[in-house]
Structure formats: structure tokens, C-alpha cells
Amino acid sequence: MQVIESVQEMQTAAMQLRFGGHLIALVPTMGCLHEGHLSLIRLAREKADKVIVSIFVNPEQFGPSEDFADYPRTWKEDLEACRANGVDFVFHPSAEAMYPEGFSSFVEEKQVSSGLCGVSRPTHFKGVSTVCLKLFNLVRPDFSYFGQKDAQQCAVIKKMVRDFNIPTEVIVGETVREADGLALSSRNRYLSKSQREEALAISSSLFEAKSMVEKGVVNVDRVIAEITHLLSLKRRIRVIYVQVVDDETMEAVKTIQPGRSRVCVAAWIDGIRLIDNCLL
Ligand code: AMP
């Protein structure tokens, strides 16, 4: 496994792989790797013969009052996990390498990114799209892997790839959860025992919504009311949004279409922001 910090070296290495006839997969991450990330790496290995994992805590996708400085960084463990999972290259650039002095171009997707997290984090998806476009240009991956846990991010990246004719196939991996349902997230490590217990209400309320729909409920208001009620029983939880959206456009829907509508939740558990979602 090779670790590359330089942008130019990454571009050259990827070009050599391509000229050598290899199929390349890219798994973009911010590190602090857990089973969610590793499941994407394993998926990538099924399709590509060279897997590149980027580990970059992207300052551009954090708002001014967000947790960029405190975002967990576990470099040594991440490298070990990549090695153990057959990663070929770890790309670990500095912020200065990705955004050198004078950097002034940004990508702004304006539809899919406008609702849900786009409301409370107005510059987030601009940062995500910009860094992903840079990574796509540097690596030119045949396949790129993203997790369903960040459903809106997946939709924004798919849209950008389509709008800009980027020659990569976006593959979305299922959300990996703890045995009790909590979606894995790098931010879970901030949770105390009692915060974690309350956070569990997020996934369990989503599963309850899914079971309502399986029993025939298609009324969005009823589903949202039930989730909001279940979350309101937890005193540490402050809901940012509960919304049912079309899985592709991320626009709010009035009637649930099973298999096409996704319920999305964002909430604060004290000062920790968690998101989760479930296809209905
Ligand atoms: P992050 O390091 O949080 O930026 O995540 C890197 C990638 O891993 C993104 O595509 C995420 O959607 C994905 N990911 C994060 N958590 C999970 C999870 N629990 N299950 C599946 N994929 C995940």
C-alpha cells in the first residue's frame, strides 16, 4: 500500500494505473474509518483492481461554527484499516495542497443540495462537490463509492457527475449500523453512554416509519408526526428536520411512494449533529 500526500504524485500514479489498463475505484473519506467506510472499500475491491482511499478532512465543507478543528482524526488506525482491507493507495493531502493560495473555483449544485442539510449547512454541499470534483479529476476513477447514510450527499454527487459528464460510475453502499440500529458515524465517538442511548431513537423512529409504510400508510404528515413524537420523548434530542423526500431529487413529497420515498432526519444530541435516513 502506498501513501501519497502530493496532488501531482496522486495524479501521476492514477494516470499510470489507467495506462496500465487497471480499473480504478475511489473511496473518498474524511478518515476516522469505521465499518461503514470499510464496507465501501470492500465493495470497491469487488469491481476494481486498484482501490484508492482519500483521507482528507475537507475544511470547505464545514461552516464557520462547525466542528472542523474537533473532527476526529485517527491517522494510524486508518492506515492499518486500509492495509488490512487491501487498499492500494491512500491519498492524504494537506489542506494547502488541495486549496493552494489563490484557489477560487467552487462547484455549486443548486437543486438537490438546497433542502434538508442544505438549509442548516448552507455551504456544506458546495464544499463537498468541490472536493469531490477535484478528487475525480486527480484520480479519474472508473467507480466512486459513497454511503447511503449520507443520502443527500449521494444525490448531489450523482447530479454533479451527470451535469458535468464526469466519467465515473457512482456506486452507493448500504448504511452500516450497530447491532441495535445506530448508523455508524465518525461523530458517534463523541457520544456519552446516555447520549448514545437517546441517539438510538433516531434509527428506531425511522424503522417505525418504515413499518408504518409496510402496513399501508402513505400519508407523509402521519409518518413525520410519529417520528417527531418519538424523538420528542428524548430530552437531549433537538430535531433539525424530519422530512420525506423523493430519493433522486431530494424534494419533499406529499404522498409516500414505497421504494422511491426516503425519510431523512437530522438532529442535535446536545452539541453533536447526527443524520440518518431510510428508504420507505
Ligand atoms: P465521511 O468520512 O463521514 O465523509 O464518510 C465517507 C464515506 O463513508 C461517505 O460516502 C459516507 O456516506 C460513507 N459512510 C459514512 N458512514 C457510513 C455508514 N454508516 N454506512 C455506510 N457508509 C457510510
**pLDDT digit string (tens) for the chain, length 280 residues:** 999 999 999 999 999 999 999 999 999 999 999 999 999 999 999 999 999 999 999 999 999 999 899 999 999 999 999 999 999 999 999 999 999 999 999 999 999 999 999 999 999 999 999 999 999 999 999 999 999 999 999 999 999 999 999 999 999 999 999 999 999 999 999 999 999 999 999 999 999 999 999 999 999 999 999 999 999 999 999 999 999 999 999 999 999 999 999 999 999 999 999 999 999 9
pLDDT digits (tens, 9 = 90+) for 126-149: 999 999 999 999 999 999 999 999
Q: Which of 179, 221, 187, 172 is nearest to 204 (CA)?
A: 179
Partners of 91 in beta bridges: 4, 54
Give me ligand 1 centre to Cα 29, in Å. 7
Give me ligand 1 centre to Cα 184, in Å. 8
CA distance 118 to 113: 5
Mutate to test the pocket of ligand 1, among 32, 54, 146 (most ligand atoms within 8 A of CB): 146
Q: At what angle do helices 124-139 and 7-19 cross, to 10 degrees?
A: 50
What is the Cα gyration radius of the chain?
19
Catalytic residues: 37
- Ligand 1 atom nearest 32 alpha carbon: 2
How high is the mean pLDDT of the chain?
A: 98
CA distance 173 to 37: 9
Give me ligand 1 centre to Cα 216, in Å. 31
- Ligand 1 neighbourhood includes 184 CB (under 6 angstroms): yes
- Ligand 1 neighbourhood includes 53 CB (under 6 angstroms): no
- Ligand 1 neighbourhood includes 146 CB (under 6 angstroms): yes
* Cα atoms found within 13 Å of the Cα of residue 118, Cβ hemisphere only: 21
